[in-house]
Structure formats: C-alpha cells, structure tokens
Amino acid sequence: MMPGLGTQLRHLVELLDGAVEEAYALAGLRYRPRFTPVVRALMVCEPSTIGQIAEAAKITQPAATQTVALMIKEGLLASEPGPVDGRQRLIRLSPRGRAILPQLHECWKVTQLAGESLDASLARPLSQSLDEAIAALGVETFGDRMEKARTRLSGAKAPATKSTVKKRNTGAGKDAAKKKRTSGA
C-alpha cells in the first residue's frame, strides 16, 4: 500500500529538519528549524506581537505562541508588555538571539544551497511543486477538496465543513434557514 500524502509530507519534513537541526548542532547552536520563521519575521519587524509573527511567518497563531515560548525559554527572545494593553506581549530578539544571527545566516546559506541541490536532482523542483500546492490550496482548501471527495464516493451530500457552514450562514442561505425555523418546517 502506498503511503498517504500526510505520511509522505511528515517523512519529508523529518528528513529535512533532522539534517538541518544536525547542522545547527555542528555549528554549536542550540537552535531548532522551527525557530527560523519567527527569527526571520522579527528581523523584518521588531518588536512584534504573536499575531504579527504568525502572519509574517505564515504559521498558525497557536504554533507561533508555542514556538515563541520555547524560544524565550532558550533565551533567544525577550517579551515585554505592550504600551497600550499590558496583556499584549511584544516580542523581540534577545541579546543572545541577536548574537547568533551571523551563525544562523551561515547555516541558512548552506541550507539554501542544499535545497537547490535537491531541486536540481529532481525531475521537477520540489520548491516549485510546493509553491503551486500552496497556491492551489489558497484557491480551494484541502477541507473543501475532501468534502467533494466524500460526495463523489457516497453519491450523496457530504457532511458540512467549517467553510461550507460559513457559506450557508451568510446571505440568502441564512435568511432561508431562518424562514424554515420560524415556519415550523
């Protein structure tokens, strides 16, 4: 049996992240690949809120929250209360985080060259396929695609997903549902 798409993606990430994490260790860094999108976001705009980091890094807010917490624990980031709302935290690179930037840049260059080498060894560059897959999922989510697949398999109407529930609870669909409830139908 062929492994599923999710299994293949997880395995690919394990292979890539494992090698990158090893390169960081060889460079004498206590640093994980998952930290990189956060560091890159802060290099562009510092300080930033968790929400701003998540948006810039193209990761979910829960993932940003977890990663930032780990990075604060490792001493790579610092957190301070926001000027208007003390509950909002402003995140910035700590002095230690800033001090390792030259080593990180070196590791990132090596990683980029290794990625280019991988792309060159494939019939179709992985980076291009990933860009196309991300763009296609921006047009039609994987959840919507799964809903269509369920419909094709069952020949009946598929169960609602979050995106279809949102669509149904707006505009004419919302009015029709309200009329149906009030008419006792």
pLDDT at residue 162, as a whole number: 60
Predicted local distance difference test score (pLDDT) of residue 50: 95
Rounded CA Rg of the chain = 22
Report the pLDDT averaged over residues 57-69.
96
pLDDT band at 136 (very low <50, low <70, confident <90, very high): very high
Give the pLDDT band (50/70/90) at residue 79: very high
**Structure confidence at residue 172 as a pLDDT band (50, 70, 90):** very low
Domain parsing of the chain, residue ranges: 5-139, 142-183
Q: Is 105 exposed, middle or buried (0-12, 13-18, 19+ CB in 10 A)?
A: exposed
Taking each helix axis from N to C terminus, what angle separates 36-44 and 101-121, rounded to the nearest 10 degrees? 120
Over residues 17-38, the mean pLDDT reads: 96
Cα–Cα distance measured from residue 143 to residue 151, given in angstroms and rounded to the nearest whole number: 12
Residue 48 per-residue DSSP state: B
DSSP assignment of 67-97 equals HHHHHHHTTSEEEEE-SS-TTSEEEEE-HHH
- The pLDDT, as a whole number, for residue 49 is 95
pLDDT at 168 over 80: no
In this structure, the number of other CB atoms found within 10 A of the CB of residue 95 comes to 9
Q: What is the pTM assigned to this prediction?
A: 0.76
What share of the chain has pLDDT > 70, as a percent? 84
**What CATH code is assigned to 5-139?**
1.10.10.10
Give the long-range contacts of residues 73-82, CB within 8 A, separation 24 or more.
74/30, 74/31, 76/31, 76/35, 76/39, 76/100, 77/38, 77/42, 80/47, 82/49
What is the Cα–Cα distance from 63 to 65, expressed in whole angstroms? 5
